[in-house]
Chains A and B, each alone.
Chain A
């Protein structure tokens, strides 16, 4: 049980509980924001677990989540646009907080891993995660307003 696993436990437990509460209660706007939060909470947790267990192969899981998590949020943003048109789901404070925490985790891991191919992979995952998080939030906050039935 080292520091990395402890940090991963905090990320999984705290982020997971907050996302679960958001996804099960409230108006559709809050639910899709919580679904978006899932990706940005769990992807750094997977990176921390990869470092904590000493298994660099687990980083592939974080890469896939950074790529496909925002795609899942875009699915809901597009196909629930009727429900969301009444009330835009914008939570920019939460988005930027999650982005900053994710960036902090990636930087800490890059320092621990040292220069090389593994660091480049971590930086790519960090860029995909933060970019995807911001774009998914933009999509939820009215990105599909003009789409009718498509």
Chain B
């Protein structure tokens, strides 16, 4: 049976290799200034009044791929939650409250709201400047964990009801899907950016559905990262094995 499987793998691999070679021979030349896809992407982005072409490609022209990436993050966090849950032979032992130096504590409490607002700013300006949902979401989630770094884990647990974050993660994924289905209900394709007006170029209200999809992805990424870090922190700080196992 093993040899049959290896032969099957060899046949599939040979087919894939032939297709890859054929594709590589057809690529445009390396290192020039002219790229056919780049020109078309920038033209389409400007036609839809989106100043940041990368965001236009991510959330408008190839929004379906971004849906796949969001699902990958969701599935990865789901896997981590399952793997890192508290087992039957483990118990929780909260550590004693820590005494951190006062300048560090004050810095953490001052910078936490600044970093949170910066994360939301990066999410909101995704269609204007470098950034977007993913980057801003990660910054917002990391800002929250300044509370753990500057105080201790008990302080973080008080502002982080885990159920709320898990729910908001799922709700954000559904919001992305609903935004895509809205286009289907209106008669065009899934995730087509033709429903909302394109707005004024280089202002906050531009790009059609791109700011909304940015917001959905930002909420999803922030909640997913908080949940992921919560389980890592639980395992590293609180959960202990029973002695004698």
Contacts and interface: CB of A to CB of B under 8 A. Distances in A.
Direct contact of A and B (CB under 8 A): yes
Interface of A: 57-58, 60-61, 63-64, 67-68, 70-71, 74-75, 78, 128, 131-132, 135, 138-139, 142-150
Task: Determine the interface band of chain B, counting residues with CB < 8 A from chain A.
Answer: 20 to 34
B104 A148 contact: no
A146 B104 CA distance: 13
A143 B149 contact: no
B142 A68 contact: yes
Which interface residue of B131, B135, B149 has the most chain A CB atoms within 10 A?
A: B149
A60 B114 contact: no
Interface in B112-152: 114-115, 118, 122, 129-131, 135, 139, 142-143, 145-146, 149-150, 152
Contacts of A147: 98-100, 152
Interface of A is mostly: helix
Contacts of B130: 57-58, 60-61
A104 B146 CA distance: 28
A70 B135 CA distance: 18
A131 B115 CA distance: 14
25 contacts: A57-B130, A60-B130, A63-B118, A64-B118, A64-B122, A67-B114, A67-B118, A67-B143, A68-B139, A68-B142, A71-B146, A74-B104, A74-B108, A74-B146, A74-B149, A74-B150, A78-B149, A131-B107, A142-B101, A144-B100, A144-B101, A147-B99, A148-B98, A149-B96, A150-B95
A27 B99 CA distance: 25
B122 A60 contact: yes
A135 B103 contact: yes
Contacts of A148: 95-96, 98
A78 B99 CA distance: 11
Interface of B is mostly: helix
B98 A146 contact: yes
A70 B104 CA distance: 11
B233 to A, nearest CB: 10
Interface of B: 95-101, 103-104, 107-108, 111, 114-115, 118, 122, 129-131, 135, 139, 142-143, 145-146, 149-150, 152-153, 237
B153 A60 contact: no
B104 A135 contact: yes
B111 A138 contact: no
A146 B99 contact: yes
Contacts of B96: 148-150
Contact of A149 (B100, B118, B237): B237
A120 B130 CA distance: 19
Contact of B100 (A68, A128, A146): A146
A64 B137 CA distance: 12
B63 to A, nearest CB: 22
